[in-house]
Amino acid sequence: MYQQHLDALIAFASGEQFQQELLQAKTEYFAGTGELFEDDKSFELRMASFLDFFVFDWKLAGSGKTPSELFFEQSTGLSEEEQQGLRGLTETRHSLWEVRKLAKANVRLRDLFTGKDIDVFERRQPAGLKRGDIIEARLVPYDGRLLFSSAFCFHPEEVRKVILKEVKRLKKHEPDFDRRGFIWSLSKMRLKLERYRNIAPEQIYSFAEKTI
C-alpha cells in the first residue's frame, strides 16, 4: 500500500495544475544544492531528492499547503488504514543523520540537529551504509514505522568530524540557523566532490567562511 499511495501522490503533484510551481521549486532547489547535469553520477538520486522536496516541503501558492497535504485533504472514500497511511506522507522528516547502529531490518539514526536517536525500518539497507556515516535522508511515517524515502546524499567519511564540529558550532553560536540551507550547502559540496575527484574532500568541505 505504501508504494501505491506514494505513486498516487507523485502523479497528483506532477499534474498540469502544478507545472508552474514545479518549475519554480526546481529553480530554487538546484540553486541551493548545485546545478545538475544529466551525466552527473548522482543525477537520479538528486532528482529523487528534488521530487521529495516539492512533494513534501514546497508550499503551494494560494492554499499554502504542500502537495502531500493537499492530496490528503482532497482524498475521499478512504478506509481508516488508508487515511493513516496518507497522513504519514504529510509528516515526513528531512534532516542530516549519523548512522548509530545497523541491525536486521533496522537502522538507528541520530538527528544531528536535535541529538535524538530514531529507528528506521529497512529490510534492504542502502549499499555501503555503515556505522558512523553522515547522510542526508528523509524519513516517512507509514503503518506505525519510519521508512526511508528513495533519496539519499552520502557524505564522505573523511569529513565526518568536520561536519559534526560545524553543526556543534552552529547550534551553540547560531541556534536559529537555516537547517535546510545548511543541508543544501553540504549537498552542493558533495556534488563538487563528485566532479573534482582530484581535490581532497577536506578542501571542498570547508567552513572557514559561512556556508549559510
Note the pLDDT of residue 211.
43
Q: How far apart are CA 118 and CA 122, in angstroms?
A: 13
DSSP-derived secondary structure for the chain = -HHHHHHHHHHHHTSGGGHHHHHHHHHHHHHHH----TTSTTHHHHHHHHHHIIIIIPPPTTT---HHHHHHHH--S--HHHHHHHHHTTS-EEEEEEEEEEETTEEEEEETTT--EEEEE-SSPPTT--TT-EEEEEEEEETTEEEEEEEEEEEPGGGHHHHHHHHHHHHHH-TT--HHHHHHHHHHHHHHHHH-TTS-HHHHS--SS---
Note the pLDDT of residue 82.
86
Note the pLDDT of residue 36.
96
Task: Tell me which amino acid residue 84 is.
Answer: Q
How does pLDDT run across 39-91, given as a tens digit for each residue? 999 999 999 999 999 999 999 998 999 999 999 999 988 888 889 989 999 99
Q: How far apart are CA 182 and CA 129, in angstroms?
A: 22
Note the pLDDT of residue 59.
97
| Domains (range + CATH), the chain | 2-88 (no CATH), 93-154 (2.40.50.140), 157-204 (no CATH)
Contact status, residue 129 vs residue 107, Cβ threshold 8 Å: yes
Q: What parts of the chain have a pLDDT lower than 70?
A: 125-126, 209-212
- Asked whether the whole model's pTM tops 0.75, one would answer yes
Note the pLDDT of residue 68.
97
